[in-house]
Amino acid sequence: MAEGANSMWGGRFAGGVDAIMEAINASIGFDCRLFAQDIAGSRAHAAMLARQGIITEEDARAIDEGLTRVQGEIEAGEFPFRAALEDIHMNIEARLREMIGEPAGRLHTARSRNDQVAVDFRLWVREQCDAAIDGLTRLIRAFLAQAEAGADWAMPGFTHLQSAQPVTWGHHMLAYVEMLARDRGRFHDARRRMNECPLGAAALAGTSFPIDRDFTAQALGFDRPTANSLDSVSDRDFALEFLAAASICAMHLSRFAEELVIWSSAQFRFVQLSDAFTTGSSIMPQKKNPDAAELLRAKLGRIMGANVALLVVMKGLALTYSKDMQEDKEQVFDAADNLMLGLAAMEGMVRDMAPQRQALATAAGAGFATATDLADWLVRALGLPFREAHHITGTLVRMAEEAGCDLPDLTLAQMQSVHAGITDDVLGVLGVENSLRSRKSYGGTAPERVREQIARWKEVLA
């Protein structure tokens, strides 16, 4: 065989591998991350082969011991990765053969790189789901701690980034608890669906050897083996589902990152971010920039890009395996790295941020935030249709705006000039605190409802 040819499959090819072809074909530069999963899959496969009498127990022991030595070399940074061997599977098998000789050649009996990479990648993505669930749980606890500390603190609620109605700080924090909990549920669902073992599907059609796929599935922690060999090696929907869940989670993280950028500005001063997650300016000594939140906003976009990229890779592939699918991993690796970084950074920012209670309270009453409370009172107390109450309230808002005051500052006579039926009872609903206490509907912002939800989430997380 010509120098440079891959001896693992070179019998079919007389010429060597061109340098350009080697560069485009090799994946060892990134799929080396799958070494632990590849070795775990090989151990389970070798044990099954021996159990079924397909290889000897002696060969299985030699393979298992050799794989332990290989893993030790990789973990110690002493493994000789070679691009000529293309991928992590061939690199490990070649090194195993150097260590134990002939038994290594029997390891690949009744399997293909197609089902091998499918099980490796599925194991890796499954671990990332577990890591995301753990990271989300920690972040949810951080938001819950903020909610409990400010369960009854007034702040403005916004629509269109305009002051809308007063809400509590605890209620705002709990909104993210709900979002992140759904994200956690999506990773749980994705993990459950992907927890089927493709090992034993071989290249695409299964194998004539009397293998036991239930044994290998159980050994690797899967619920069951996959039911169709073609599907087993040809789809990456488990990775796409992970990316979809990660993308939605990234969107939620990015939204709060944007709020932190806004809230920490001199114009808002709603929160103070710690020095750990901010930087200064090289020219403006007064600056404290929310760089961690801004970088998080940008990095999380890469997760959404990875989702689209893998969809594009997969969308035009006929069954079963095509080499295009080698491009599945880098996008997922990058997305998983950025997701875990994003979760950790956001947890740190949420735990460290100091909400400024007075600034929040001052802003809560601005912009005629209790106008809806006035309209609701007109409906309840005077029996007016809501649309008429809405019109009356709008007139009173315009009157207050022209007078340069807020709604509670209007005199009763001024209010009665718009509608004679208004009484001084209306003053009991116009304050921010009154507004907050009145929002008692389930899921509302009233402090008592917020504390109920905090208690519920503590119980869920316990």
172, 254, 274, 281: the catalytic one is 281
DSSP code of 105? G
Q: Is 417 a catalytic residue?
A: no
With vertex at residue 170, the alpha carbon angle to CA 437 and CA 188, rounded to the nearest 5 degrees, is: 130
User: Cα 231 vs. chain centroid, distance in angstroms?
Assistant: 26
325 Cβ contact list (under 8 Å, min separation 6): 236, 313, 314, 317
| Residue 161 φ/ψ region, left for φ over 0, alpha for ψ in the -120 to 50 degree band, beta for the rest | left
Beta strand pairing call for 224-225 and 354-355: unpaired
160, 208, 282, 441: the catalytic one is 160
Helix (H) or strand (E) holding 354: strand 354-355
Contact 435, 429 (CB under 8 A): yes
The full DSSP string for 138-197 is HHHHHHHHHHHHTTT-EEEEEETTEEEEEEEHHHHHHHHHHHHHHHHHHHHHHHHHH-EE
As a whole number of Å, the CA-based R_g of the chain is 31
Residue 197, strand partner residues: 225
| Sign for the pseudo-dihedral over CA of 396, 400, 406, 411 | negative
Q: Is 281 a catalytic residue?
A: yes
Residues in the chain, overall count: 462
Catalytic residues: 160, 281
